[in-house]
Amino acid sequence: MDRVAVVRGEAELFERAAHLFAGTTREFACAANTLRTWMVTRARARIAEQVPAPRVRKLFRLSTLLDPRWAEHAREAAGRGAQVRVTAQDVNETIVLDDRVAILAGDESHGARSYSVVTAPELVHGISSLFEAAWRGGTELAVHEARMAELRVVAPGVLDALNRGWTDEAAARALGVSLRTYRRRVAELMSALGASSRFQAGARARELGLV
């Protein structure tokens, strides 16, 4: 495979890069940024079976874990021995294998999602350094879960209130909470979604399929 190769779709990624996953002996590191995270097909399970690395690290974008399905995925990964952290910052969807191979998820502008498979050492080193910086700024899953348990339950209601354009007072009454509690939850949700305004939070929630 070329030092930088672009493939289309998870199936092609598996066919062309399975040997790279199989050759991973030290560490499998992964960052996931959106609710529609990569490796959503059966190829994900097939690739996972190819990874013998004793150390697995997974970094999730905080908004991703507002979805109970991905929160459960993160817990399952931690239960299998993976180190899992959560970040409020945007992270490019990335896999790094033994600091020798990096795989970057692209867009779907040409149909199937593209993936760049990088084996050039100097590029892999740079990508790995970016992952490490994001990892250091992340929060351990257990700590995150304790903070977010309440928010995950109320997020749909808060997002619905934002989407409807209700006043804080009306939203608080509808949700059966105090005005102060409602405003705190809105602030927490905005942080989770990486939004700088309530309008942006509502728009981003719709993009992510949360409302």
What confidence category does residue 103 fall into, taking pLDDT thresholds of 50, 70 and 90? very high
Tokens of 106: 């692209």
Position 177 confidence tier, pLDDT thresholds 50, 70, 90: very high
pLDDT tens-digit map of 118-138: 999 999 999 999 999 999 999
> For position 41, what pLDDT does the model report?
43
- The phi and psi torsions of 95 (rounded to 5 degrees) equal -125, 135
Query: Is residue 187 scored above 70 in pLDDT?
Result: yes
Run of H or E residues at 70: helix 68-79
For the domain that residue 147 is a member of, what is the CATH number? 1.10.10.10
Beta strands in 12-82 (DSSP E): 27-32, 55-61
Residues 101 and 23 in one domain: yes
Query: Which of 108 and 57 is assigned the larger pLDDT?
Result: 57
147 and 197 assigned to the same domain = yes
Provide the pLDDT for residue 42.
43
User: What pLDDT, on the 0 to 100 scale, is given for residue 211?
Assistant: 62
Length in residues, the chain: 211
CATH of the domain at 95: 3.30.870.10
Predicted TM-score (pTM) of the model is 0.71
Mean pLDDT, the chain, whole residue set: 83
**What angle do helix axes 141-164 and 179-193 make, rounded to 10 degrees?**
110
- What is the residue range of 150's domain? 143-207
Q: What distance in Å separates the CA atoms of residue 112 and residue 138, rounded to the nearest whole number?
A: 30
Query: Of 62, 104, 183, 187, which is closest to residue 175 (Cα–Cα)?
Result: 183
